[in-house]
Amino acid sequence: MQCAGKVVLVTGAQQGIGRAMTIEFALAGANVAINWLDDERAAESAADQVRSHARRALTVQADVASIEQTQAMVTAVEQGLGPIDILINNAGVFPRVP
């Protein structure tokens, strides 16, 4: 996969499959926006991994269930990295039960 110079936004990218995708896109040459909901430390760790591959990374906290937060996230990504070329909708909903 070649993504040199592309801007990729991955939702739900702080862990699991989303995090793995951010690293793969960085290896393919993309700059990556890492959307996170509730674990900033994990998101920053993923961003550090992207940067270790000489790519740009941006972490953006947003609940993609909120249109307002999603719009603000897109604006932040475009201001920080440029126009979004690839969107990976990876965010999931996991009900919390006792």
Average pLDDT in the chain: 94
Number of domains in the chain: 1
9 close to 84: Cβ distance less than 8 angstroms? yes
CATH of the domain at 72: 3.40.50.720
| In a domain? residue 1 | no
Phi, psi (5° rounding) for residue 79?
A: -75, -35
Distance CA 18, CA 92 (A): 10
**Domain hosting residue 76, numbered range:** 7-88
- Write the pLDDT tens digit of every residue in 56-97: 999 999 999 999 999 999 999 999 999 999 999 998 766 667
